[in-house]
Amino acid sequence: MSSGEFVSNCTADSLAQAAQLLKDGGLVALPTETVYGLGADATNPSAVARVYKAKGRPADHPLIVHIHSMQSLGDWADEIPSYAISLARDFWPGPMTLVLKRTILAEDFVTGGQPTVGLRVPDHAVALALLSAFEKIGGKGIAAPSANRFGHVSPTTAKAVQEELGEYLETRDQILDGGPSTVGVESTIIDCTSDSPRILRPGAITIEMIEESTGLKVSTAETNIRVSGSLENHYAPNASVHLNRDPILGEGFIAMAQIETPSGVVRLASPTSIEEFARVIYSALRDADARHLNSVVVAEPAGDGLALAIRDRLMRASKGR
Ligand code: TXA
Ligand code: MG
């Protein structure tokens, strides 16, 4: 199979073309502020089936539906609690996915058979322009999981998408290049189906931000809701990932800039802030594989908020595949 067409110059024309491709059942990989997604028309069962196939993902894991604005929320979600409206007002477009009771538009093939649907308005000019062009021709939403093979590191550049999925795409499929993702870890997923919000996956929208927006206490209790990003063995490179120990000769090393590199160790990233840590972590893990390293040591960042999301992903990456 051949790889998808690479579109690096996202003009109005090329985005209108990409929107039409989605409408015709093709796949379009798109940039978002968190990570790149592999998009399909969320109402087209065969297009969505191709997303699962390209990712090698089990069919019972639900996809996030991306919409252009909260105006489209009612198309997909029912019985929306007022705290979810506050969250949407405060943080969309942005790195936040709301899990809500679904309408009939959200069919089993996109929700993994669950009675809920995950919705997000991404904060990226290319993604928003594509969503707007898609709406103009009658599109309702773009289902898009992270554009990586199941269990692998999420892509934060168009090149990483090409490396992950190129061989699983058809010639007509497209990969849109919108530059490196600025947040770098996946959206915060918030279950909004009970009286108060519950975090299913931590991200850049933090507990404090959610409590401030809603005036409610956030729960982080474990649930039996299926979130593949909450599986152990996820976000993993080929190299084995080790946390918070001294790296040895020939190992890769990722740590905040103030931590020195022991001699003989391959420094892969030296972020100077938590935000930068999030932005570079996945490309640094990919870099370890590109350099054929067998193992990478990460000195995890301390603190709450985004640091918590980074530690969540690293814990899973360290379990391997
Ligand atoms: O930042 C992101 O969220 C990125 C970008 C592309 O938007 N997308 C992303 O998609 O991370 P994915 O499929 O790799 O992870 C989505 C997670 C999965 O773990 C899935 O189980 C969960 O969202 N999810 C989706 N719909 C859900 C639902 N109705 N109930 C519970 N979890 C849901
Ligand atoms: Mg993913």
User: Do 42 and 143 touch, CB atoms closer than 8 A?
Assistant: yes
Ligand 1 pocket check for 187: Cβ under 6 Å:
yes
Task: Note the pLDDT of residue 59.
Answer: 84
Q: What is the 228 CA–ligand 2 centroid distance (Å)?
A: 7
Contact 146, 160 (CB under 8 A): no
The finding on whether 34 has its CB within 6 A of some atom of ligand 1 is yes
Q: Which two tokens stand for residue 42?
A: 């969320």
Report pLDDT for 232.
Answer: 66
Neighbour-count burial for 226-245, b at 16+ CB within 10 Å, e otherwise: ebbbbeeebbbbebbbbeee
Q: Would you state the pLDDT for residue 231?
A: 62
Residue whose CB lies within 8 A of the most ligand 1 atoms, among 186, 232, 313, 316, for a mutation test:
186
With cut-offs at 50, 70 and 90, classify the pLDDT of residue 69: very high
Instruction: Report the residue among 36, 63, 102, 232 best suited for mutation to probe ligand 1: largest number of ligand atoms under 8 A from its CB.
Output: 63
Identical fold at 5-214 and 240-317? no
In short, whether 145's Cβ falls inside 6 Å of ligand 1 is: yes
Q: Is the pLDDT of residue 225 over 80?
A: no
CB distance 207 to ligand 1 below 6 Å = no
Shortest-distance atom of ligand 1 to CA 97? 3
Residue 1 has pLDDT above 50, yes or no: no
In the chain, what percentage of residues exceed pLDDT 90? 89
Report, as an integer, the average pLDDT of 220-233: 61
User: Which residue is closest in CA terms to ligand 1's atom 26?
Assistant: 118
Fold of 5-214: DHBP synthase (3.90.870)
Taking only the tens place, the pLDDT of each residue in 167-218 is 999 999 999 999 999 999 999 999 999 999 999 999 999 999 999 999 999 9
Give 12-39 pLDDT, tens digit per residue.
999 999 999 999 999 999 999 999 999 9
Nearest CA to ligand 1 atom 32: 227
- Which ligand has the nearest atom to the CA of 35? 1
pLDDT tier for residue 7 given thresholds of 50, 70 and 90 = confident
The yes-or-no verdict on residue 221 having pLDDT over 90 is no
pLDDT in tens, 246-295: 999 999 999 999 999 999 999 999 999 999 999 999 999 999 999 999 99
**CA 154 to ligand 2 center in whole angstroms:** 6
Instruction: Supply 25's token pair.
Output: 């059942």
pLDDT for 234 equals 81
Average pLDDT, whole number, for the chain?
A: 94
The larger pLDDT score, comparing residue 87 to residue 7, is at 87
Q: By CB neighbour count within 10 A (0-12 exposed, 13-18 middle, 19+ buried), where does 134 fall?
A: buried
> Per-residue confidence at 2, pLDDT binned at 50, 70, 90?
very low
Does the C-beta of 67 come closer than 6 Å to ligand 1?
Answer: no
Ligand 2 centroid distance, CA of 36 (Å): 10
Non-local CB neighbours of 182 within 8 Å, separated by 6+ positions? 33, 279
Rounded CA-CA distance 306/303 in Å is 8
Question: Which ligand 1 atom sits nearest the alpha carbon of residue 146?
Answer: 14
Q: Where are the chain's structural domains?
A: 5-214, 240-317
Token couple for 132: 């707007």
Express each pLDDT in 199-209 by its tens digit.
999 999 999 99
CA-based nearest residue to 198, from 173, 174, 224, 176: 224
- Are 169 and 54 a contacting pair, CB within 8 Å? yes
What's the gap in Å between 3 CA and the centre of ligand 1?
Answer: 24
Closest-CA residue, ligand 1 atom 12, reads: 145
The reported pTM is 0.95
pLDDT average, residue stretch 59-73: 95
The answer to whether 184 touches 269, Cβ cutoff 8 Å, is: no
Report the CATH number of the 240-317 domain.
3.40.50.11030
- Average pLDDT rounded to a whole number, residues 62-67: 97
165 lines ligand 1 (CB under 6 A): no
Q: At 143, phi and psi to the nearest 5?
A: -80, 125
